[in-house]
Amino acid sequence: MKQHMMDVLVYVFENYMTEQYNLKKSGHRQLIINGLQQIGFHPGLIEEALLWLQQVSRTSDDLIQQSASGLRYYSQKEQQILGYEGIEFIDYLMAQHILDNHSRELLIDGLLYLKADNIEVDDLQWLALIILFSQPDQEQAFVDLERLLFDPTEIREH
C-alpha cells in the first residue's frame, strides 16, 4: 500500500489533535511519532506531516496582510493544484464566512507545501478542517465546516 502524507495528516487529526496532545511539546510529539510508527507509517512521511502541521499553525504575523474587501487572484501553479472545483470550494467557504483571508492563505500555503500536482476536494476539506482546528479563535468556523461536511441535513450548493 502506497502511503501519502494526506493519510498521515488525516490520521493525526482524527487521533491526536485534541487538548490531550500538543505537538509543540517534545514528549507529546515523540508519543505521536511512536504511535504512527507502530501502526506502520513510514518515518519520513511522519516527519513531513508533522512539519506540515507546524507550518500551518503559524500566526497571521507570518503572512502578508490582505484587504478584507480585496480579490484573490490564484497563480497558475495554484490553479493547477487546486483545479476549478478546489477554487470553487474555497470561494464557497469564504462566502459562508467559514474561511477568512488568513485561513484561506494558510490553506493555499499548506497545499503548496504538500507539493502535490493536483488535489482532490475531499483532501482539501480535510486540510481546511485541520487548519481551522489549529488556529486560535477559529472554533466557530471549525464547527461550521464540520457541520457542513458531516451533517447530512446540511444543504449546500457550490
Residue-wise pLDDT for 27-59, tens only, equals 788 899 999 999 999 999 999 999 998 888 765
For 3, other C-beta atoms within 10 Å of its C-beta total 13
Which distant-in-sequence residues (6+ apart) come within 8 Å of 105 by Cβ?
A: 63, 64, 66
**Structural domain span for residue 40:** 1-56
Closest to 130 (Cα-Cα) out of 151, 109, 116: 109
Q: Is residue 72 part of a domain?
A: yes
Domain co-membership, 79 together with 157 = yes
Q: Is residue 23 part of a domain?
A: yes
Q: Give dist(CA 107, CA 138) in Å, integer.
A: 14
Which distant-in-sequence residues (6+ apart) come within 8 Å of 32 by Cβ?
A: 12, 16, 21, 23, 50
Whether the per-residue pLDDT at 1 is higher than 50: the answer is no
Q: Give dist(CA 43, CA 73) in Å, integer.
A: 37
Domain co-membership, 18 together with 70 = no
Closest to 52 (Cα-Cα) out of 132, 120, 110, 13: 110
Domain co-membership, 26 together with 95 = no
Residue-wise pLDDT for 123-137, tens only, equals 999 999 999 998 888
Q: Is residue 61 part of a domain?
A: no
Residue-wise pLDDT for 51-82, tens only, equals 998 888 765 555 555 556 678 899 999 999 99
Place of cell 480585496: 70
Work out the mean pLDDT of the chain and round it to a whole number.
85
pTM: 0.82
**Domain-ending residue, one of 56, 82, 102:** 56
Domain co-membership, 145 together with 77 = yes
Q: For the chain, what is the domain count? A: 2
